């Protein structure tokens, strides 16, 4: 048996001891140490598991950093951490909680289904070398509404496997920072980019159809070259995007995909509203 509680200073690094800290950029790694609480599972005074609940918007929470000590696996520790963080999010008025994991991580898929999560996306990374050419057309303020309609419902908010709801404010901010690009007549395709991560241009959100999407993907390779970067990468969310990526010279760097899970939460009676948080940074700083 184990109990779950908030991590405290006396625990030291929640990832220390029997629990190795996840490598940076891994789908289960805690990317936002200051963005929400850590929890630990404890048995007889020993920390045997950990997990984090990251606040990504006033209504959205993200589960990450889940780890269980090897000798304590398959003993209900991960289940207890899942349940505790979901209850914590619901009590504080969050309306949706999400997590992502590898497509071959079947134990976590089962755990998610057990707790009412549904898989909302299978996202496969594609990348292509930078290529000299004509960069994409930069978006104008008047394009904001059309860009929002062209893009999908989510935007990547870190270089790892993390997404949150895309808003019109995100689009307007990207336009102001010259990080929104469009292609086709009447914005048939659009993209929002972030900064560079290890020499790669990160595309945080992309959408569109047909030839315009292919042209946009080719132009983003030129944008990467203009910035002196090695390549450009994005996560494709469907067959049409995968076809466009391949026709534009992109290839997946590995097999498998990131599975994105989501659960809507009803507001618990008497619960406070979710805490406000500053808007997540658009990307790692260049």
Residue 66 covered by a domain: yes
pLDDT tens digits along 104-121: 999 899 999 999 999 999
Distance of CA 266 to the CA centre of its chain: 23
Question: Which pLDDT score, from 0 to 100, does residue 273 have?
Answer: 54
CA distance 184 to 136: 10
Residue 88 covered by a domain: yes
**Maximum CA extent, the chain:** 65
Q: What is the mean pLDDT of residues 110-139?
A: 94
Q: What is the mean pLDDT of residues 87-114?
A: 94
Domain total in the chain:
2
Distance of CA 231 to the CA centre of its chain: 20
Q: Tell whether 143 and 41 lie within a shared domain.
A: no
Q: Tell whether 158 and 219 lie within a shared domain.
A: yes
**Which range has the worst mean pLDDT, 63-77, 100-114, 221-235?**
63-77
Number of residues that this document lists for the chain: 286
Residue 280 covered by a domain: no
Residue 41 covered by a domain: yes
Residue 267 has pLDDT above 80, yes or no: no
Question: Which pLDDT score, from 0 to 100, does residue 195 have?
Answer: 81
Q: Tell whether 194 and 242 lie within a shared domain.
A: yes
Task: Say if residues 165 and 252 touch (Cβ distance below 8 Å).
Answer: no
Question: Which pLDDT score, from 0 to 100, does residue 186 have?
Answer: 87
CA distance 246 to 42: 48
Domain boundary among 43, 75, 94: 94
23: domain CATH number is 3.40.630.30
**66: containing domain:** 3-94
Please report, for residues 18, 41, 146, 185, the alpha-carbon distance to residue 159 in angstroms, rounded to integers and kept in the order given.
27, 28, 26, 30
């Amino acid at each position: 048996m184990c109990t779950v509680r908030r991590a405290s200073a006396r625990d030291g690094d929640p990832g220390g001891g029997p629990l190795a800290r996840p490598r940076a950029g891994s789908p289960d790694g805690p990317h936002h140490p200051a963005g929400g609480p850590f929890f630990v599972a404890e048995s007889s005074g020993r920390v045997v598991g950990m997990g984090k609940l990251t606040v990504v918007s006033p209504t959205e929470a993200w589960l990450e950093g889940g780890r269980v000590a090897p000798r304590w696996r398959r003993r209900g520790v991960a289940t207890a951490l899942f349940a505790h963080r979901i209850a914590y999010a619901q009590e504080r008025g969050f309306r949706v909680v999400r997590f992502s994991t590898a497509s071959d991580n079947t134990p976590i898929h089962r755990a998610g289904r057990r707790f009412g999560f549904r898989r909302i996306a299978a996202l496969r990374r594609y990348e292509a070398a930078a290529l000299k050419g004509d960069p994409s057309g930069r978006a104008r303020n008047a394009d904001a509404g059309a860009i929002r309609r062209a893009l999908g419902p989510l935007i990547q908010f870190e270089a790892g496997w993390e997404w949150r709801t895309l808003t019109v404010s995100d689009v307007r901010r990207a336009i102001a920072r010259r990080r929104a690009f469009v292609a086709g007549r009447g914005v048939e395709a659009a993209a929002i980019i972030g900064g560079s991560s290890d020499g790669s241009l990160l595309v945080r959100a992309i959408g569109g159809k047909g030839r315009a999407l292919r042209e946009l993907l080719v132009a983003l390779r030129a944008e990467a070259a203009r910035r002196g970067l090695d390549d450009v990468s994005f996560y494709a969310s469907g067959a049409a995007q995968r076809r466009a990526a391949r026709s534009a010279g992109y290839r997946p760097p590995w097999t498998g995909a990131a599975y994105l899970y989501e659960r809507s939460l009803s507001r618990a009676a008497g619960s406070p509203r979710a805490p406000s948080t500053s808007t997540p940074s658009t990307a790692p700083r260049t």
